[in-house]
Structure 1
């Protein structure tokens, strides 16, 4: 294939993110332990997240609002104001967590940056994603940054046409099959899956293993070799 542009997801592809959601959800379970069993609470929270994506989008703020909504629902409106306050504080802490790069993230981007257009394509809250990118120290390596409301084939077509030569000559690298890989392949490009130990339940999908535009790597350290083989 002719490859001109490589897109990278951010959260749990370049730096840790989902583990902060898991830690906060454990705190949420403890706060609501008197109102609902753990498994039931987790199901209700996930349902609220799924229901609210269209209203709040992806990211910490929507997650925090979904926790508050779930707390009100499972307690039938009796949740103390002190618990709501603690949920809000947990959300603020998530928005301030330090950035920790995943193994080989910088090295992989540096190895490819001189030969291809490098684009960050991430979804989530604008201010939070901008903060994380600034703290990561990777910002200067990207030719462009796109913070999008969702990741669908038409979004990838637009992004790779705007910052490259179209999705047919593009590659998207990320930890989510549902958001990073499958829609990029559907757009006509190459999708590279780099699994993370923690993946949000709403991001699960079956890998398109039979598709010649699909690849899976153990970590980003293997990406430059893959690109070299394809080129």
Structure 2
């Protein structure tokens, strides 16, 4: 196995909190439609809408807002009250304006690796929102490359780690999503490091690749610098 020269980081729920705000908004959505659908049924319908729409709207808050509006129309037979639509829009705009909350050890891990490795930020989602969050995080200057992509696939990592580094076989990607951060990076020939967050979007769930030598799991980013150096 090649020596690691390039380390990639996911952003949402790896460097800063994200999913908690979706869960809070989903609970608010359920309150808005409490007279029209049970909470569990509404959550199922919303997830179905998100699954249908992710290929059209991509990942992020704006697509989530549109899926909520579509779900509200569906469960009310196209008779959703205007105040419910307004409530959905208000909730989405609050999400887009919410300040960034860095996760423990995020800055320390990046600073510990900075200078010794080529550091990349690889995140998917809405371009403007991801740029906003990165700017607020204060971490942007620590990365040698920043990639905001529409999806994370093996070919995505092959391109990014080849453009910025020595190729994926000399790269490591750390993130909270097995489906997006770990499995496709391993498929590209690199290391995938799973950093559980505790809250995960249902569409990001996947089984860990047990027995795969390039797969590692750590409790938090505080353990990442040591792992990276041990893998040399």
Measured against the shorter chain, the TM-score band is over 0.9
Separation in 2 of the partners of 1:192 and 1:23?
28
Quick one: distance in 1 between partners of 2:86 and 2:160?
39
Give 1:116's aligned residue: 117
Aligned position for 1:158: 159
Aligned-pair distance for 1:197? 1.1
Q: Secondary structure at the match of 1:145?
A: strand
3-state SS of the aligned residue for 2:97? coil
In structure 2, the residue matched to 1:190 is 191
Counterparts of 1:153 and 1:41, CA distance in 2:
34
In 2, distance between residues paired with 1:164 and 1:209? 27
2-structure distance, mates of 1:53, 1:72: 18
Deviation per CA, 1:34-62: give whole Å up to 9, x if none: 11111110000000000000100000000
SS of aligned partner of 1:120: strand
Alignment-derived partner of residue 62 in structure 1:
63
* Structure 1 residue 128 corresponds to structure 2 residue 120: no
Quote the Cα distance in structure 2 between the aligned partners of 1:169 and 1:230: 11
C-alpha distance in 2, partners of 1:137/1:6? 19
Unaligned runs of 5+ in 2: none
Alpha-carbon displacement from aligned partner over 1:28-85 (angstroms, at most 9, x marks no partner): 0000111111111000000000000010000000000000000000000111011101
Q: CA deviation at 1:10?
A: 0.1
Distance 1:6 1:225 in 2: 13
1:1-231 alignment, distance < 5 Å: 1-231=2-232
* Moved segments of 4+, more than 6 Å: none
How many Å apart are 1:114 and its aligned residue? 1.1
Count of paired positions? 231
> What's the C-alpha RMSD, in Å, of the aligned pairs?
0.5
State the shift of 1:107 in Å: 0.4
Q: How much does 1:228 deviate?
A: 1.2
SS in 1 for 2:102: coil
| Partner secondary structure for residue 71 of structure 1 | helix
Aligned partners of 1:173 and 1:226: how far apart in 2?
A: 11
